C-alpha cells in the first residue's frame, strides 16, 4: 500500500502538455503494428467466444457460451482523470453520453464517478459526480501520468460507498455509442482484447512478475484495465497488486523500455493473472476509429487515434490531413462547437464520432468556458 500523501506537488501545465505530446508520438508509432495486424477491417469484428484453434486471431480464455447470462445487474461507471483542460473536456463529453445511454433499453448502467487524482476539487465537481483522491508522491510516476490510475482505484475502492456489485473501468476518451449491458458473467469479468498487448511475445519480461510455477504466460490476458466490467469484490483484490506490479515494472529499465506507454495495461493484465482471474474477451466492447470503420452494435467509441484525411476521403495517417479530428489538437482547452464533418468517403465510424462530439458540445452548458 502507498504511504499517505505528504506535500504532493502538482504537475505543471507545461509538463502535462509534454506528456500529452508524448502520448501523441507513442500513438503514431503504433501505426506500423496496426497495419501489420490488419486491424482496419470493420464488419469482420465480432464477439470472441471460442478458444484459439490456430486460425483465430483472438482467443477467449473463458467460454462465455457456457456461462449463465445473469440477471442484468447494474454496474458503476468509473473513470480516472486529471484536472488538466485536456482531461476535463473529454470527461464532460463522456458524461454527457453516459447520461444519454443510461436510460435506454438494454442498458445496465448504474451510477457514475470521475475518480479525480489531482488531490483537490476542481470546477467540474457540480457537473460530474466526482471523488477526489491523491496522486502518487511527487516524482514517483516519472512523467508516466497514467501510473496514477491503479493508485486512484485503490483509494476509491477503499474510501467510497459504491452501491453496485459491478464496476466498469472506463477512460475520458470513451463515448458510449450504444446502451451498454453488463457483459460480465458472475465472477468472470469482461474486457476488450488489444492487438498490441502480447504477453507471449514478452515471456522473458512477464516471467519477472508472473513466475512459471503459476502457469503458462497465456494465463495473462491481452488486455488493459479499460474497458473492463468486473465484480467490485474482485477488483478490490486486484487493484493493490495492479498498483504494485505497475510500480515494479516502471522501476525496471528493461520492462519500462519494452512496454513503454502501455506498461500500466500490462500491469493490470499481470495482476489479474496473479489472482487467477481470466476475462471474457469481447471485441464488440469497443471500436477505435479510424481503424474500425463502422460502429454497428459495438458499445464504446475510443477516440485515441488521430483521424486524418484528404478531401477525397482518403486516410493520411501519420501525416496531418486536409481534414482532421485529433483529441491532441485540444491540449489547452476544449474543441469548438460544430466541428466540420469529414469529407465524403470517410468511414461511418469517424463521421459518427464527430457528430457525437458536436451533439455533446452543443448541449453542455458553458462548453467553451473550460
pLDDT digits (tens, 9 = 90+) for 79-132: 999 999 999 999 999 999 999 999 999 999 999 999 999 999 999 999 999 999
* 20 — pLDDT class (breaks 50, 70, 90): very low
What are the grid coordinates assigned to 77, written together?
461507471
* Whole-number average pLDDT of the chain: 86
Name which of 366, 364, 348, 340 is nearest 100 in CA terms: 364
Q: What is the mean pLDDT of residues 315-335?
A: 96
Q: How many CA atoms are closer than 13 Å to the CA of 120, on its beta-carbon side?
A: 8
Averaged pLDDT for residues 49-59: 34
Quick one: pLDDT at residue 141? 87
Q: How far is CA 275 from CA 17, 141, 216, 236, 270, in A?
A: 36, 25, 14, 11, 9
Fold of domain 71-279: Spore Coat Polysaccharide Biosynthesis Protein SpsA; Chain A (3.90.550)
Q: CA 317 to CA 308: how far, in whole Å?
A: 6
Instruction: Report the pLDDT value the prediction gives residue 72, as an integer from 0 to 100.
Output: 74
List Cβ neighbours of 233 (8 Å cut-off, separation of 6 or more). 165
Domain ranges of the chain: 71-279, 295-361
Spatial distance between the Cα atoms of 251 and 228, rounded to a whole number of angstroms: 26
Q: Which of 96, 188, 187, 139 is nearest to 7 (CA)?
A: 139
pLDDT for res 368: 82
Q: What is the pLDDT of residue 71?
A: 60
Instruction: Write out the H or E segment, with its range, that includes residue 330.
Output: none
| Alpha carbons 325 and 257: distance in angstroms, whole number | 30
Closest CA to 237 of 275, 190, 209, 266: 275
Terminal C-alpha separation, the chain: 35
Global pTM?
0.85
Amino acid at each position: 500500500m502507498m504511504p499517505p500523501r505528504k506535500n504532493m506537488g502538482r504537475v505543471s501545465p507545461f509538463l502535462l502538455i509534454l506528456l500529452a505530446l508524448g502520448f501523441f508520438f507513442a500513438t503514431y508509432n503504433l501505426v506500423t503494428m496496426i497495419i501489420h495486424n490488419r486491424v482496419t477491417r470493420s464488419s469482420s469484428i465480432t464477439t470472441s467466444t471460442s478458444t484459439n484453434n490456430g486460425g483465430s486471431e483472438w482467443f477467449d480464455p473463458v467460454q462465455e457460451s457456457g456461462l449463465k447470462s445473469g440477471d442484468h445487474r447494474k454496474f458503476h461507471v468509473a473513470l480516472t482523470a486529471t484536472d488538466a483542460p485536456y482531461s476535463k473536456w473529454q470527461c464532460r463529453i463522456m458524461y454527457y453520453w453516459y447520461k444519454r445511454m443510461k436510460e435506454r433499453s438494454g442498458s445496465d448502467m448504474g451510477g457514475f464517478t470521475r475518480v479525480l487524482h489531482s488531490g483537490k476539487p476542481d470546477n467540474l465537481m457540480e457537473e460530474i459526480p466526482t471523488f477526489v483522491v491523491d496522486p502518487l508522491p511527487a516524482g514517483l510516476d516519472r512523467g508516466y501520468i497514467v501510473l496514477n490510475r491503479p493508485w486512484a482505484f485503490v483509494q476509491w475502492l477503499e474510501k467510497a460507498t459504491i452501491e453496485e456489485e459491478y464496476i466498469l473501468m472506463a477512460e475520458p476518451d470513451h463515448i458510449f455509442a450504444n446502451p451498454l449491458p453488463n457483459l460480465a458473467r458472475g465472477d468472470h469479468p469482461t474486457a476488450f482484447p488489444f492487438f498490441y498487448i502480447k504477453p507471449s511475445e514478452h515471456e522473458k519480461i512477464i516471467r519477472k512478475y508472473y513466475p512459471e510455477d503459476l502457469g503458462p504466460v497465456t494465463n495473462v490476458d491481452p488486455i488493459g484495465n479499460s474497458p473492463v466490467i468486473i465484480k467490485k469484490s474482485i477488483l478490490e483484490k486486484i487493484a493493490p497488486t495492479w498498483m504494485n506490479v505497475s510500480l515494479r515494472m516502471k522501476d525496471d529499465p528493461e520492462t519500462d523500455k519494452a512496454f513503454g506507454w502501455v506498461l500500466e495495461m500490462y500491469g493490470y493484465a499481470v495482476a489479474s493473472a496473479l489472482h487467477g482471474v481470466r476475462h471474457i474477451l469481447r471485441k464488440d466492447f469497443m471500436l477505435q476509429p479510424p481503424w474500425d470503420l463502422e460502429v454497428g452494435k459495438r458499445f464504446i467509441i475510443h477516440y485515441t487515434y488521430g483521424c486524418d484525411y484528404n478531401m477525397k476521403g482518403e486516410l493520411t495517417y501519420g501525416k496531418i490531413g486536409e481534414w482532421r479530428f485529433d483529441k491532441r489538437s485540444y491540449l489547452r482547452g476544449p474543441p469548438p462547437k460544430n466541428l466540420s464533418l469529414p469529407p465524403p468517403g470517410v468511414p461511418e465510424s469517424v463521421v459518427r464520432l464527430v457528430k457525437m462530439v458536436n451533439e455533446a458540445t452543443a448541449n453542455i452548458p458553458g462548453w467553451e468556458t473550460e
